Amino acid sequence: MTLATLRPLQLQDAGDVLAAFSSAPDMARQGDVRDEASAAAYTRWASGVDSATRAFGIVVVDHVVGCVGISIDRVNLVGWVWYWMHAEHRGKGLTSRATTTVANWALGEGGLERLELGHRANNPASGRVALVAGFTWEGVERGKFLIDGERLDVRTYGRLHDDPVPTCETLAADTSTWPPLIGEHS
């Protein structure tokens, strides 16, 4: 099993973010990351410096290879979850374990009461990550995206704070040092 840890994304991770976005064409829809400047801007946004988003980097041998983020709706105590993984590190269960870790924390000490996410129907790996991380399939937004001239359905999922905690193994993470997603530190 690949040794990996999880920690809040930091501004100095921008180079690793650029490497991940350059690793596969399917990363293009995850954000506008093309070069050093756009990677720095994305990392700043994802780190929550000037946004209601908080991302956590999956670290393998001192490099961030993947990311799980939450965009926070403080009024409703809801978080929109997203994730990506460098192509060379996919298929090892890392995103599933990281999403489980982040979701368990976000719905506990993190202070949120509902998490939600969605993926294109032609991206089944993303759906597996959601199910393994304890999300429940909630429905389909038909024809939501227009991609290459084709309208694609989006499958949506949710996890509530009192839903069962999934059995998926978590990643090593010092969550006691993570500031809550709501309140004075958010």
Q: Applying CB under 6 A, which of residues 11, 49, 125, 172 lies at the interface with ligand COA?
A: 125
44 SS3 class = helix
| Bridging pattern class, strands 150-160 and 172-173 | unpaired
- Residues in the chain, total: 186
| Least separation in angstroms between CB 131 and ligand COA | 8
Residue number, 74 or 90, with CB nearest to ligand COA: 90
By CB under 6 A, is residue 4 in contact with ligand COA?
no
By CB under 6 A, is residue 132 in contact with ligand COA?
yes
| Residue 8 half-sphere exposure toward CB, CA atoms < 13 A | 19
Residue number, 64 or 85, with CB nearest to ligand COA: 85
Binders of ligand COA in range 11-30 (CB under 6 A): 26-27, 30
Binders of ligand COA in range 55-94 (CB under 6 A): 83-85, 90-94
Instruction: Tell me which long-range contacts 72-77 makes (C-beta under 8 A, separation of at least 24).
Output: 72/112, 72/181, 72/182, 72/186, 74/182, 74/186, 76/114, 77/111, 77/112, 77/113, 77/114, 77/182
Binding site for ligand COA (CB under 6 A): 26-27, 30, 83-85, 90-96, 119, 123-126, 128-129, 132
